[in-house]
Amino acid sequence: MTMERSQPAGLIDHALLAPDATNESVRQAARVAIERGCAGLTLNGSNVKFGSILTKGSAVKVVAVVGGFPLGRTPIAVKAFEAARAVQDGADELDLMINLGAFKECSPDYLLKEVGEVVRAAQGRPVKAILETCYLTDQEKVRAGLLAGQAGAGWVVTSTGYGPGDATVADVALLRSQLPAALQIKAVGDLRTKQRAQALLEAGAARLGVTATAELLDDWAASA
């Protein structure tokens, strides 16, 4: 993807996922997402309802992280309930943390059921399966992405931002080369510079998950 634009704000999910986030933090994050023209505002479940109120009337979509984020070690039924509650609270999209251990140890049926149950609970809203690629081999990254797509996810996400590694250009390029074109990729990481963000977009990411959104967009504008 060649980026011929002044800023990539419309491709950014501005994220506020800090464990100590307050209502004022959510207000500030919503303000950034709206004023900078971001695609989404990514929030933990307890902040989704407030976020949906703050972004009402804007083009910003509320993205709820679900699935026992960031570890993903909750039962499938709990993940489905969490997804349904997020929808009830106003989420427009869901970022689902898969159970990496179960994926590595079990047959494909576990991941298919896990993602499939959340897709059903999402009631037509986009589901993005978080792969946390820093814990997977290249073969596992591709396999998990293919299974997530087969189960109904429309996206795969590289990272949570809490693991030992962020999105890499190599991972995005690998996934883009091996996954169906309809299955889109969200790259997540500590993205603060135009150079790093642009490299991920050009490798095939269709969305960026960013915490330091204002810093990134300011650097992008300064580098134009």
The residues, ordered by sequence, that sit 6+ positions from 75 with a Cβ below 8 Å of its Cβ are none
Q: What is the pLDDT of residues 57-97, one digit of tens each?
A: 999 999 999 999 999 999 999 999 999 999 999 999 999 99
Tens of pLDDT along 131-163? 999 999 999 999 999 999 999 999 999 999 999
Is 85 part of a structural domain of the chain? yes
What pLDDT sits at residue 4?
45
* Segment (H or E) for 65: strand 61-66
What sign results for the dihedral spanned by CA atoms 23, 192, 185, 40? positive
Residue 45 has pLDDT above 70, yes or no: yes
For residue 3, tell me if it sits in a domain.
no
Kindly state the average pLDDT of the residues 2-15.
78
Prediction pTM value: 0.95
Q: Is residue 218 part of a domain?
A: yes
Sign of CA dihedral 164, 196, 155, 94: positive
Inside any domain, residue 43: yes
* Domain of residue 184, CATH code: 3.20.20.70
**Per-residue pLDDT for 182 more than 60?**
yes
Q: Residue 60 gets which letter from DSSP?
A: P
| Structure-token match 């996206």, residue found | 155
- pLDDT above 60 (res 5): no
Residue 135 lies in a domain: yes
